Each structure stands twice: as structure tokens, then as C-alpha cells.
């Protein structure tokens, strides 16, 4: 994990704010900690010790506020920059908006600007707050500035919105008398909690799935609406329902002493608005606020930035604000981001200066022309025209595959060819797709042909079930009120506490107005709990008490994790299992312990709470995409690709319904967001760009026929050279280009597609006992055949396991 925080706390503490009524203004933190010191508080607040946070390998303290400046090298900061970039680096005095087209050197401008502030304008590093989109970007920026300016740069604060807010909340709790220890809920935890809320309110889960409720509540949160006012403003039944759900959900969060991802920002904003003195202390401190990827900020983040900058006519002059972004690269509206923030920047900050960076230093003119042509189709955007002086370059190569397997084979062949001809190495190549599920076809193919690859994103380490389970134990220890975590593990591994027992404990918790975790400790008082269940619950309570004792004795996260693995029998269960997957699960848990050890050895580590916070905020995917020197093909979603660049890019799955995604087809806004995603994908390529699609793609079991993506047609024809074009319309009843086959239509015609098979192969028919050979799994024996017309077969591949296959598409041959 590279997420590394420079402490904010080396500057004088801000004056304690006047005490005001905390109350309802601070959802999520409104309730004082019921438990006194003892649990979770042991580690104390270390914020004020200027803990040395430099990586051990580095030397030099850099902590004195007036350390001698490293040699000033103005030329290094401005060298090679074009006039617009220079202007952006040295601008001062008014808010600054840098509209940076793809590949226009945005990151360089930002880092050089910071270095310029530190080196030329004598700004103290502690006065700088730079907000990036990911932890990885933060780490890189810190590194680059340090390379320019020296170790002094470590004193500045570079982080994501979320990390920054957690820091602020942790720091301010003591002034406000709020609990310092809180649990951060990720999307999965929130969903579980919402499911509970749906049960509380007796909602029809079919009509109101927790996911949907969560999305609705989340958008209210980002608008900074509280549920009271939402209820008052409700126009329709649905709105009223959402407001009610919001209230119950929020109460549950408060009771669990938890904040979800949206709360982190919103609560900080509320804190600033409720306690102006706190807000002022921060904007007194941060004289320079820089925000990267401004087009992806949501309303709450926008307000937070305003609060940090401070009023134009305040007692303290506003901080110097510099935001960077490109409205055409906004791809997170689904998560609440508003392009409005960047489009209206000049209205929000009337004396703002705007600098446009249009010259591209990354791609060939062909690639840029394609990108421009696609993005032009979006309405209501400010015109922008990327250009380069580096020449036209190669044409885009297009390929129409029969199936997703064929598409993967094309990519593999092409990479081989480029490698053989010395035009590129596998490490130069990236394969982009719209959804994570699409990676499988490529992985299978690359494994078969022996191409080295890595998948970025996908199922992340911290999202794996076993890791989340064990972390839930740790969280339950750190915060016994965290009902989502306690419920998650109360019967994992199985110890005979079923739904009924859980319901009885829930009832007890309700009756006594205590948390679920507290009810576990008082299970004796629960009605209707079978003796056997009661014993099991008591056993669980004793287990937790034993572990808690260990925590109280000052054990660090690693030691506690090891105790959890052992005492719960979780690890033993995995080790005894014969399922080969459980082996890797056990390895993941060992890895988690190793991560905890590593965390403990980091200076300034803050015990279990700190470890959990780190785990919640640092996506481990951040560490993966680095330099391309290791010769691996990179596979990732288009969203993950933002901010990266590759010499060779394959844009795959260019089919209506895949990209653009089905869900976006009916909605202009969403379609435009898909188009921006296409724009992002295209502009990642430096020299070579490939478009590919599959005529026939099996999407969730059933095959689907998808016409060409509209984005392909939006690229001028002469830019694309088709290596293989769509086959002539076949004689089947459904033409290849039937526009917009809906999913349901596909389903109805499902059986009809069988005859097409994959890669031209005749579908085979098998019977139990037949010997077959599979491209990936090798030799096997058919165990059984399912489906009315025999479309699935279960085949035993011996050491490769027993697999269920779709006969029409499995690369399977009868012997």
C-alpha cells in the first residue's frame, strides 16, 4: 500500500472553536460515545506529535519550517512548458481554472505549480492542500514535487477528499466532544445496512431493492439535504418514502457509530457550517487549495472546497484556489459528480482566470481527430480542439470478431505481431473494456497462448469475502456497536446461530435500546431463544470478550488478526477444506496479516483504528498500475484507465448494449457520459489504437447479438482500417445488423442462436459418459447433461475440477 499521509499537524493548533450545540447538525456524529474511555480510545490522539512520516529510506528531516531552500531552479519548473502551461504555473492572485484537455500535461503543470509556490513564492509547505482523485495520484504527486523541491515537500498535505475529511473529523472530534472512533462503511456494508432498514420498514424488496434505496439516499446526501427537510419537501409518495428511509438509515448509522462514504464529506461540511471557527482555522491554515479532476467533484465536495477557501470578503483573505479538469472526461456522474462545477466555475468565483490547455503531447493526430469527432457529438459542451504537432501516425485498426473468444484471440495475435516486429512490448499494451466481467475472455485466451498480463481492478483484495469477514471481526472489536459487522460474523464460521436467534437478539436490542453487539452480551434476557442457540450466542460472546481482552492489553492489529484466525477456527476450516479455492482464501488471510504487520512497522501507525481506517480508504488497486517495464499486458475497465496512457490501446466490446451499456441507451445524459468514456479510452493511446467488437457475445449465459457501437460510426471512416469486417448478413432469421435487440428479445430468440456456435464450431451433443477435450481444462468426462434441449453439460475434468458448460459456446470437442 503506497497511501502515505503527510501529517497536517505540525502547524500550530487552531484555536478551539466556541462550543455550540452539536445536536442534529452532525448526522452520524450527533450522539456522544456511550462507552467511555477504554475501548478504542487507548491509542489516544497522536495528531499533535509531529510524527516522522518520511519513508525510512529517506534521510533529512525537513521538518523545521525554515529549512534552507534547496537550490532554486526556476528553469526546471518552467523548462519545456508552452506559454499556456507556464502561465498556469505562475498565475497568482485570483482563483484559477485550468481546463486541461487529455494529454495536455495537466499533471506536470500541477506539480510544477506546487513546486513553484514552494520554491519561488516562499509558500510554506504546510499551507498547501492538494486534493487528488485517487490515493495513487496523491502519492505520485508527492513524489514528483519532492523530486523538484526536496524533502520539505513532505510537509504539504496531498490526499483525496475522503482521506482529508477523515483526518479533519478525527482531529476535530476532541474540540466538539464527538466520538473519535467511528467505523467507515463501504458500499457493501451500506447495502447490508439498507437491507436491514428495508426490513425495519417492511418494504417490498422487489419493488425497492436496497441498492436502489441506497442510490436515492446517496444522491440526497450529496445534495446535503437532511432527511427532515427532504420529508417536508417530498412531492410524491416515492420521495416521501426515500426521506423516511433516509432517516431510519441515518439513525442506524449513528447507532453503529459508523459513517458511510458519502457521510465523510457531508459531515465535514456540516461541521464547518455549524462551527465557523473550525472552518476558519482551516482556511487560515491552507493558503493554497488545489483540486485535480475537478470535473468529477460532486456537490458536497464543491461546498467543502468553498468552505476551505473561505469567503471573498472575510476577515482572512480567501485561499488561492486552483482547480484542474476537463469536462469531457467527466465519467462519474453516476456517483454524483456534476460537470456543473467546472462549467460554472467562473460564475462561482467571479474574478476567476481560465487557462485552456489544448495542445496534446501524448497521441498522434489520427487518434486525436478520432477523439475530437466522437466527443463533438455531445451537446452543450464548450468546444475544445485537441491538436498535436507530432504527425498523423498509424491508422486505427478495426476488427470484427465472431465471438468474444475470437476477439481475445485477435488481441493476442496482434500483440504477438507487434512484439515480433519490434513495434511494441506486451508491457506497452492495454486492453480496455466496459465492464469487469469482460476480462474473463481475455484472461482465458492469454493464459492459453502464454501472454503475460495483469488485471487492474476487478475483485479487489479488500472486497474478498474472507478478508471482509476477518476484518468484520476486527471492526466488531474496535466498535461493538457496529451492528453490520457483528451480524456479518456472528455465524461465521457456522456456530449454530441462525436467522431466528438473530431476530430474537434484534428484538432484545430494540426493546432495551441497545446495539446489536450489546444484545449479544446480554443474550440471557432475550425471549424466545432456544437453549441451544443461547449457548451458541454465549460462546460467541465469550470468544469476543477474550479477543477484546487482547486488544485491551495493547495488542496491535496483526496480533489480534492472528488471534481471530486461530480462535474462531476460521483458518482451520479453510485449511481442512478440499475446495482448492479455500487454499487461496487462506493465503489471502495470511496476506492480510502481513499487511497488518507492515502497517505496524510504519511510523505513526495508530493501532487498530488506524489500520481499519487505512484499509477502508486505500483501494489496493491503487498500487498496481505503475510503470510498464515489467512486460505485462494491462487489462482494465475504461473507468480505471482514466489518467493513464499506453503506447498501444485496444478498445474492445464496441457494441451497442455493451459500450454504450444497455442501461444508458434510453437516456441522453447517460449516453453522453458513455461517450465521454469513449473519449477517455481513445485518448489513452499514444501511438496505436485498435477498435474491436464481437458479433456474438454470450452475456450471462445467453448469447446476444449486438450491432456495432455508435461510437465507431462517429469516427471518420478514413481513420480506420478494417482488418476484418462484419460478415455478410447470414441467412438466419435475424440479420446481423438488427438495431437495438433488447435483452428480452434476445432471450426469446435464445434457442435460435444455438446453431451459430462459437468460432464457427458446430455445437456438439454429448451424453453422460462421453469423453471430451476442452481447450482450457483438457480431458474430461461428461457427468450429466442439463436443459430441455441439452444446452448445458456438467463435465469432470479431474484435477481441473467439475465444470458446468454451455455446449454451444464451450471450446469443447468430443473424442
Partner DNA sequence: TAGTTCATCCTTTTT
Partner DNA sequence: GGATGAACTA
Catalytic residues: 106-107, 292-293, 329, 684
The DSSP 8-state label assigned to residue 71 in this structure reads: P
Cell 469486417 found at: 725
Q: Examine residue 811 and tell whether it contacts DNA (CB under 7 A).
A: no
The smaller minimum CB distance to DNA, of residues 132 and 605, is found at: 132
Q: Which of 60, 317, 498, 768 binds DNA (CB under 7 A)?
A: 498
* CA–CA gap between residue 760 and residue 758 (Å, rounded): 5
Copy the grid coordinates of residue 412.
493476442
**How many residues form the binding site for DNA (CB under 7 A)?**
52
Q: Examine residue 111 and tell whether it contacts DNA (CB under 7 A).
A: no
The smaller minimum CB distance to DNA, of residues 395 and 794, is found at: 794
Residue 593 CB partners (closer than 8 Å, separation 6+): 558, 561, 562, 565
- Pick the stretch among 48-56, 122-130, 132-140, 266-274 that binds DNA (CB under 7 A): 132-140
- Pick the stretch among 367-375, 397-405, 552-560, 696-704 that binds DNA (CB under 7 A): 696-704
The smaller minimum CB distance to DNA, of residues 425 and 693, is found at: 693
Distance in Å, CB of 116 to DNA, minimum: 26
| 720 DSSP β-pair partners | 396
The smaller minimum CB distance to DNA, of residues 234 and 702, is found at: 702
Copy the grid coordinates of residue 68.
534552507
Q: Which of 231, 448, 661, 761 binds DNA (CB under 7 A)?
A: 661
Q: Examine residue 209 and tell whether it contacts DNA (CB under 7 A).
A: yes
Copy the grid coordinates of residue 408.
481475445
* CA–CA gap between residue 373 and residue 713 (Å, rounded): 10
Q: Which of 273, 559, 803, 811 binds DNA (CB under 7 A)?
A: 803
Q: Examine residue 639 and tell whether it contacts DNA (CB under 7 A).
A: yes
CA 569 to chain CA centroid, Å, is 32
Distance in Å, CB of 394 to DNA, minimum: 28
Q: Examine residue 548 and tell whether it contacts DNA (CB under 7 A).
A: no
Distance in Å, CB of 759 to DNA, minimum: 16
Distance in Å, CB of 724 to DNA, minimum: 26
**In the chain, helix, strand, coil percent, each to 5?**
50, 15, 35
The DSSP 8-state label assigned to residue 217 in this structure reads: H
- Pick the stretch among 112-120, 393-401, 623-631, 636-644 that binds DNA (CB under 7 A): 636-644
Q: Examine residue 584 and tell whether it contacts DNA (CB under 7 A).
A: no
* CA–CA gap between residue 596 and residue 146 (Å, rounded): 27
Q: Which of 466, 622, 655, 791 binds DNA (CB under 7 A)?
A: 622
Q: Examine residue 387 and tell whether it contacts DNA (CB under 7 A).
A: no
For 779-791, letters b (16+ CB in 10 Å) and e give ebebeebeeeeeb
Dihedral sign, Cα of residue 674, residue 678, residue 683, residue 684: positive
Residue 475 CB partners (closer than 8 Å, separation 6+): 183, 482, 485, 612
Q: Examine residue 311 and tell whether it contacts DNA (CB under 7 A).
A: no
Distance in Å, CB of 580 to DNA, minimum: 14
Q: Examine residue 470 and tell whether it contacts DNA (CB under 7 A).
A: no
User: What is the Cβ-side half-sphere exposure of residue 98, based on CA atoms within 13 angstroms?
Assistant: 29
Q: Examine residue 34 and tell whether it contacts DNA (CB under 7 A).
A: no
The smaller minimum CB distance to DNA, of residues 667 and 765, is found at: 667
Distance in Å, CB of 663 to DNA, minimum: 4
Q: Which of 494, 511, 771, 814 binds DNA (CB under 7 A)?
A: 494
DSSP annotation string for 599-628: HHHSTT--HHHHHHHHHHH--GGGGS---G
The DSSP 8-state label assigned to residue 523 in this structure reads: G
- Pick the stretch among 17-25, 205-213, 228-236, 546-554 that binds DNA (CB under 7 A): 205-213
**Whole-number Cα distances in Å, 620 to 380, 460, 623, 728, 753:** 37, 7, 6, 46, 41
Q: Which of 160, 250, 295, 364 binds DNA (CB under 7 A)?
A: 160
Q: Examine residue 334 and tell whether it contacts DNA (CB under 7 A).
A: yes
The smaller minimum CB distance to DNA, of residues 448 and 803, is found at: 803
Q: Examine residue 497 and tell whether it contacts DNA (CB under 7 A).
A: yes
Distance in Å, CB of 52 to DNA, minimum: 25
* CA–CA gap between residue 367 and residue 392 (Å, rounded): 8
Dihedral sign, Cα of residue 49, residue 50, residue 53, residue 56: negative
Q: Examine residue 572 and tell whether it contacts DNA (CB under 7 A).
A: no
**Residue 499: burial class (beta carbons within 10 Å; 0-12, 13-18, 19+):** exposed
* CA–CA gap between residue 144 and residue 138 (Å, rounded): 10
Q: How far apart are the first and last CA of the chain?
A: 49
Q: Which of 495, 522, 597, 774 binds DNA (CB under 7 A)?
A: 495
Residue 251 CB partners (closer than 8 Å, separation 6+): none
Distance in Å, CB of 275 to DNA, minimum: 24
The DSSP 8-state label assigned to residue 396 in this structure reads: E
- Pick the stretch among 174-182, 309-317, 481-489, 528-536 that binds DNA (CB under 7 A): 528-536
Output phi, psi for 559, to 5 deg.
Answer: -65, -40
Q: Examine residue 297 and tell whether it contacts DNA (CB under 7 A).
A: no
Nearest residue to 703 (alpha-carbon basis) of 403, 312, 293, 335: 403
Q: Examine residue 454 and tell whether it contacts DNA (CB under 7 A).
A: no
The smaller minimum CB distance to DNA, of residues 160 and 687, is found at: 160
Distance in Å, CB of 793 to DNA, minimum: 11
* CA–CA gap between residue 658 and residue 433 (Å, rounded): 9
The smaller minimum CB distance to DNA, of residues 349 and 753, is found at: 753
Secondary structure (3-state) at 219? helix
* CA–CA gap between residue 585 and residue 466 (Å, rounded): 6
* CA–CA gap between residue 53 and residue 142 (Å, rounded): 13
- Pick the stretch among 22-30, 280-288, 648-656, 663-671 that binds DNA (CB under 7 A): 663-671
Residue 554 CB partners (closer than 8 Å, separation 6+): 42
- Pick the stretch among 105-113, 360-368, 517-525, 527-535 that binds DNA (CB under 7 A): 527-535
Q: Examine residue 711 and tell whether it contacts DNA (CB under 7 A).
A: no
Q: Which of 34, 69, 500, 511 binds DNA (CB under 7 A)?
A: 500
Residues 254-273 that bind DNA (CB under 7 A): 261
- Pick the stretch among 282-290, 375-383, 474-482, 487-495 that binds DNA (CB under 7 A): 487-495
Strands (E), 62-156: 96-100, 128-132
- Fill in the per-residue mask, 419 to 438: x = in contact with DNA (CB under 7 A), - = not in contact: ---------------xxxx-
The smaller minimum CB distance to DNA, of residues 112 and 160, is found at: 160
Distance in Å, CB of 335 to DNA, minimum: 5
Q: Examine residue 185 and tell whether it contacts DNA (CB under 7 A).
A: no
For 91-108, letters b (16+ CB in 10 Å) and e give beeebbbbbbbbbbbbbb
Copy the grid coordinates of residue 350.
467571479
Q: Examine residue 805 and tell whether it contacts DNA (CB under 7 A).
A: yes
The smaller minimum CB distance to DNA, of residues 121 and 804, is found at: 804
Q: What angle do CA 667, 671, 672 make, to 5 degrees?
A: 120
Distance in Å, CB of 662 to DNA, minimum: 7
Distance in Å, CB of 729 to DNA, minimum: 28
Copy the grid coordinates of residue 571.
483458518
Q: Examine residue 619 and tell whether it contacts DNA (CB under 7 A).
A: yes
CB 154 within 8 A of CB 62: yes
Pairing of strands 685-699, 396-403: parallel
The smaller minimum CB distance to DNA, of residues 636 and 712, is found at: 636
Residues that bind DNA (CB under 7 A): 133-135, 160-162, 186-187, 195, 205-206, 209, 211, 261, 331-332, 334-335, 434-437, 457, 491, 494-501, 530, 532-533, 617, 619, 621-622, 637, 639-640, 661, 663-664, 670, 700-702, 803-805
Amino acid at each position: 500500500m503506497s497511501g502515505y499521509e503527510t501529517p497536517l499537524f505540525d502547524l500550530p493548533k487552531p484555536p478551539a472553536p466556541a462550543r455550540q450545540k452539536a445536536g442534529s447538525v452532525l448526522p452520524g456524529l450527533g450522539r456522544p460515545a456511550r462507552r467511555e474511555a477504554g475501548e478504542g480510545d487507548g491509542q489516544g490522539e497522536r495528531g499533535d506529535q509531529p510524527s516522522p512520516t518520511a519513508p525510512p529510506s529517506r534521510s533529512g528531516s525537513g521538518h523545521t519550517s525554515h529549512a534552507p531552500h534547496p537550490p532554486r531552479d526556476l528553469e526546471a519548473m518552467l523548462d519545456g512548458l508552452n506559454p499556456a502551461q507556464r502561465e498556469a504555473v505562475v498565475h497568482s492572485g485570483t482563483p484559477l481554472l485550468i481546463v486541461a484537455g487529455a494529454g495536455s500535461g495537466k499533471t506536470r503543470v500541477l506539480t510544477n505549480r506546487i513546486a513553484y509556490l514552494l520554491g519561488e513564492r516562499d509558500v510554506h509547505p504546510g499551507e498547501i492542500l492538494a486534493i487528488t482523485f485517487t490515493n495513487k495520484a496523491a502519492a505520485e504527486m508527492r513524489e514528483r514535487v519532492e523530486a523538484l523541491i526536496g524533502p520539505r515537500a513532505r510537509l504539504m498535505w496531498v490526499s483525496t477528499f475522503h482521506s482529508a475529511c477523515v483526518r479533519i473529523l478525527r482531529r476535530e472530534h476532541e474540540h466538539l466532544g464527538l466520538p473519535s472512533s467511528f467505523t467507515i462503511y463501504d458500499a457493501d456494508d451500506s447495502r447490508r445496512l439498507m437491507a436491514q432498514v428495508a426490513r425495519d420498514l417492511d418494504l417490498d424488496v422487489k419493488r425497492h431493492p436496497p441498492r436502489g434505496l441506497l442510490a436515492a439516499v446517496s444522491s440526497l446526501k450529496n445534495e446535503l439535504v437532511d432527511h427532515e427537510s427532504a420529508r417536508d419537501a417530498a412531492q410524491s409518495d416515492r420521495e416521501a418514502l426515500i426521506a423516511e428511509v433516509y432517516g431510519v438509515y441515518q439513525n442506524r448509522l449513528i447507532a453503529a457509530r459508523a459513517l458511510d462514504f458519502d457521510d465523510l464529506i457531508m459531515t465535514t461540511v456540516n461541521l464547518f457550517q455549524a462551527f465557523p471557527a473550525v472552518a476558519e482555522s482551516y482556511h487560515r491554515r491552507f493558503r493554497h487549495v488545489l483540486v485535480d479532476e475537478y470535473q468529477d467533484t460532486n456537490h458536497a465536495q464543491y461546498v467543502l472546497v468553498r468552505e476551505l477557501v473561505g469567503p471573498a470578503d472575510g476577515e482572512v483573505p480567501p485561499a488561492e484556489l486552483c482547480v484542474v479538469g476537463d469536462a469531457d472526461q467527466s465519467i462519474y456522474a453516476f456517483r454524483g459528480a456534476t460537470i456543473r462545477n467546472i462549467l460554472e466555475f467562473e460564475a462561482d468565483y467571479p474574478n476567476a482566470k481560465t487557462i485552456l490547455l489544448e495542445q496534446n503531447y501524448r497521441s498522434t493526430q489520427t487518434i486525436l481527430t478520432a477523439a475530437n469527432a466522437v466527443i463533438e457529438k455531445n451537446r452543450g459542451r464548450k468546444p475544445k480542439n485537441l491538436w498535436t504537432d507530432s504527425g498523423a501516425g498509424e491508422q486505427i485498426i478495426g476488427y470484427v470478431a465472431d465471438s468474444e473468444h475470437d476477439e481475445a484471440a485477435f488481441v493476442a495475435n496482434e500483440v504477438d505481431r507487434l512484439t515480433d516486429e519490434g513495434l511494441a512490448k506486451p508491457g506497452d499494451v492495454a486492453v480496455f473494456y466496459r465492464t469487469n466481467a469482460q476480462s474473463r475472455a481475455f484472461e482465458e485466451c492469454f493464459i492459453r497462448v502464454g501472454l503475460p498480463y495483469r488485471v487492474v481492478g476487478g475483485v479487489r483484495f479488500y472486497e474478498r469475502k474472507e478478508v471482509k469477514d476477518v476484518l468484520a471481526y476486527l471492526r466488531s472489536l474496535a466498535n461493538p456497536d457496529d451492528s453490520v459487522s457483528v451480524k456479518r460474523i456472528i455465524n461465521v464460521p457456522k456456530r449454530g446461530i441462525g436467522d431466528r436467534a438473530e431476530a430474537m437478539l434484534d428484538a432484545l436490542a430494540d426493546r432495551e435500546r441497545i446495539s446489536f453487539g450489546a444484545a449479544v452480551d446480554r443474550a440471557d434476557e432475550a425471549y424466545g431463544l432456544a437453549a441451544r442457540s443461547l449457548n451458541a450466542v454465549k460462546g460467541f460472546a465469550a470468544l469476543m470478550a477474550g479477543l477484546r481482552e487482547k486488544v485491551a492489553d495493547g495488542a496491535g492489529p496483526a496480533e489480534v488478526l492472528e488471534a481471530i484466525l486461530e480462535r474462531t477456527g476460521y483458518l482451520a476450516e479453510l485449511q481442512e477444506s478440499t475446495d482448492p479455492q479455500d487454499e487461496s482464501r487462506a493465503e489471502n488471510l495470511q496476506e492480510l496479516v502481513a499487511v497488518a504487520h507492515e502497517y505496524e512497522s510504519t511510523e505513526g501507525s495508530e493501532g487498530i483504528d488506524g489500520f481499519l481506517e487505512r484499509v477502508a480508504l486505500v483501494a489496493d488497486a491503487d498500487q498496481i498500475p505503475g510503470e510498464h517495464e515489467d512486460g505485462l499486458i494491462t487489462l482494465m475497465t475504461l473507468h480505471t484507465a482514466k489518467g493513464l496512457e499506453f503506447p498501444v490501446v485496444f478498445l474492445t466490446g464496441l457494441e451497442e448494449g455493451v459500450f454504450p451499456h444497455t442501461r444508458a441507451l434510453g437516456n441522453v445524459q447517460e449516453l453522453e457520459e458513455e461517450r465521454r468514456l469513449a473519449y477517455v479510452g481513445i485518448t489513452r493511446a499514444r501511438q496505436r489504437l485498435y477498435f474491436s467488437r464481437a458479433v456474438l457475445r454470450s452475456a450471462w449465459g445467453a448469447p446476444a447479438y449486438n450491432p456495432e457501437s455508435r461510437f465507431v460510426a462517429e469516427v471518420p471512416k478514413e481513420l480506420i482500417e478494417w482488418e476484418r469486417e462484419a460478415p455478410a448478413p447470414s441467412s438466419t432469421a435475424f440479420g446481423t445488423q438488427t438495431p437495438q435487440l433488447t435483452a428480452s428479445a434476445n432471450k426469446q430468440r435464445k434457442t435460435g442462436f444455438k446453431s451459430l456456435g462459437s468460432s464457427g464450431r458446430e455445437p456438439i451433443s454429448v451424453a453422460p459418459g462421453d469423453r471430451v477435450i476442452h481447450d482450457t481444462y483438457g480431458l474430461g468426462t461428461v457427468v450429466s447433461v442439463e436443459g430441455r434441449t441439452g444446452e448445458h453439460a456438467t463435465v469432470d475434468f479431474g484435477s481441473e475440477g467439475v465444470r458446468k458448460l454451455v455446449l454451444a459456446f464451450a471450446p469443447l470437442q468430443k473424442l
